Amino acid sequence: MITWNNLDTLESFKELSDVKKVNLAEVMTGENGAERVKNYSVPMAAGMAYNYAAKQVDDDVLEALKKLAKEAQLTEKYAALYNGEVINTGEKRLVLHQLTRGQLGDTVTADGVDKRAFYVEQQQKIADFANKVHAGQITNAAGEKFTTVVQIGIGGSDLGPRAMYLALENWAKKNDKFKMEAKFISNVDPDDAAGVLSTIDVAHSIFVLVSKSGTTLETLTNESFVKDALKNAGLDASRHMIAVTSETSPLAKSDDYLAAFFMDDYIGGRYSSTSAVGGAVLSLAFGPEVFADFLAGAAEEDSLAKNEDVMQNPAMLDALIGVYERNILGYPSTAVLPYSQALSRFPAHLQQLDMESNGKSVNRFGEPVDYVTGPVIFGEPGTNGQHSFYQLLHQGTDIVPLQFIGFKNNQMDTDVVIQGSTSQQKLCANVAAQIVAFACGKADDNNNKNFEGGRPSSIIIGEQVNPASLGALLAHFENKVMFQGFLWNLNSFDQEGVQLGKVLAKRVLAHETDGALKVFSDLLNI
């Protein structure tokens, strides 16, 4: 029997607050620190590992976190989710994004169909379509090959797929998997669409219109923008556009598209990179095999998340440590810091994934909670972040827990030795240095130069950003967010908080305003 209880009602949570706090600077200094780095590590999929040596935990805290995981029934709740229970209580929906990459439990039947079979069928249709485009069997009206794919979508229909594309672009070029260049149009700012259109040859471009709901203002506006551009170039828009949407959306009924691929209401936008939403653009850009490897990496990580043993379950452990930092240690935010240029937009994807999922003040039954929930998430790739906001991270008045991600190898062949080391070595040296600097600090008589240390971080270490490790990384964070939602007793799968702004914007455009909204409308010349 699963019971959904608020975090502060759990006995193990109360016990957790009584466990002695760890002095991170102390435990990370000297031999003790070296031992922690060796031992405080959990294997992940695709040869990666989650290392939490520099987190503010010790064996006592970990014991208490294990109890919390058990009492909160994290494993059981995950099983309920992948076996098809209505976990998204707000919208009364199943939550099936893991099923797009593998079968974790029972056959899930909804709307009269086997959902795994449905997702695989859509992947297969996308694969056939992409192969035909690459082979020149699907062409523009002049019989010429398409060279560019442009995704039109916003939120989950943009951030994840864009971050994934950027992460694999150079890897694909290096490994002879690069098929088509991809571009993305998301913002309703006309300069976004116009800017992208000015860099491409529309006659040789396929546009992927992606909207789960089929009603998103920005995306429909940008679709019209692109259709105009195609028309102005004397082209038939329906020969250049495909749609990715849910079968129940208004777009699904249109035959304005060269092809349509489907997801459904059980895949949240921010969880949709492994569905047709990411599948179409990534399969066109890199080929269906690369997309399949990406899914396999995610599936392997999803399986690890089933492990009841917290110490062998990286996503669950990461989630528990995060809740400890947020609710017991009182840290307000978390920075995600990939030391990899390939992951330049990964923090942007995680911002949506985490904050749209767990930025809630009421529990899954709609009752206000008496504890803090999702932290503010932000990030930038290292080393760029070091020359930007690390000052505050090292010496600011808030302690910000950090999630580093680092890879031993770069993606391209090109590197140089300057002053005795390669650029890749410099990159890795920096992340190692930062972890120790944050944890241990450095005393100085001059307060301005003093580093107190005690600033916790974890690091995910992998061999290289490739399709499998990227899939695993994506799934790790999705599962971490899911487990945290379970701990906070939230529904992590709806997003009512985005509605009010949309309603008011419509009112402004219809000139139905008064009070402050009216004055702002006038100030902005609407």
Ligand X SMILES: O=P(O)(O)OC[C@H]1O[C@H](O)[C@H](O)[C@@H](O)[C@@H]1O
In the complex with ligand X, which residue's Cβ is closer, 309 or 496? 496
Nearest-approach distance from CB 13 to ligand X, in angstroms: 30
Nearest-approach distance from CB 97 to ligand X, in angstroms: 12
Q: Is 495 in the site for ligand X (CB under 6 A)?
A: yes
Helices (H), ranges, 369-514? 390-395, 423-440, 467-488, 499-509
Nearest-approach distance from CB 331 to ligand X, in angstroms: 26
In the complex with ligand X, which residue's Cβ is closer, 64 or 355? 355
Q: Could you say which of 223, 300, 356, 380 is catalytic?
A: 356
Is residue 6 within 8 A of residue 51, CB to CB? The reply is no
Whole-angstrom distance, CA of residue 15 vs CA of residue 28 = 25
- Count of residues that interact with ligand X, criterion CB under 6 A: 14
In the complex with ligand X, which residue's Cβ is closer, 214 or 401? 214
In the complex with ligand X, which residue's Cβ is closer, 160 or 381? 160
Applying the rule CB under 6 A, the residues between 320 and 379 that interact with ligand X are 356
Whole-angstrom distance, CA of residue 261 vs CA of residue 121 = 10
Of the residues 148, 211, 358, 469, which one makes contact with ligand X according to CB under 6 A: 211
Applying the rule CB under 6 A, the residues between 265 and 284 that interact with ligand X are 269-270
In the complex with ligand X, which residue's Cβ is closer, 43 or 497? 497
Span near ligand X by CB under 6 A; candidates 197-205, 206-214, 384-392, 442-450? 206-214
Q: Is 213 in the site for ligand X (CB under 6 A)?
A: yes
Quick check: is 502 catalytic?
A: yes
Q: Structure tokens of 265?
A: 């209401």
* In 57-159, beta strands by DSSP E: 109-110, 113-114, 148-152
Nearest-approach distance from CB 215 to ligand X, in angstroms: 7
Q: Is 484 in the site for ligand X (CB under 6 A)?
A: no
Is residue 151 within 8 A of residue 182, CB to CB? The reply is yes
Whole-angstrom distance, CA of residue 355 vs CA of residue 378 = 10
Of 418, 424, 421, the C-alpha closest to 339 is 424
Q: What are phi and psi for residue 402, nearest 5 degrees?
A: -120, 145
Is residue 460 within 8 A of residue 405, CB to CB? The reply is yes
Tell me the torsion sign for CA atoms 418, 424, 425, 431: positive
Nearest-approach distance from CB 158 to ligand X, in angstroms: 8
Give the residue nearest to ligand X (CB): 269
Of the residues 186, 219, 273, 386, which one makes contact with ligand X according to CB under 6 A: 219
Give 37: exposed, middle or buried? Use CB within 10 Å, 0-12, 13-18, 19+: middle
Quick check: is 356 catalytic?
A: yes
Is residue 171 within 8 A of residue 411, CB to CB? The reply is yes
Of 149, 152, 150, the C-alpha closest to 217 is 152
Whole-angstrom distance, CA of residue 7 vs CA of residue 111 = 34
In the complex with ligand X, which residue's Cβ is closer, 240 or 349? 349
What one-letter code names the amino acid at 456?
A: P
Nearest-approach distance from CB 374 to ligand X, in angstroms: 15
Q: Is 157 in the site for ligand X (CB under 6 A)?
A: yes
Catalytic positions: 356, 387, 502
**Which residues contact ligand X by CB under 6 A?**
154-157, 211-213, 216, 219, 269-270, 356, 495, 498
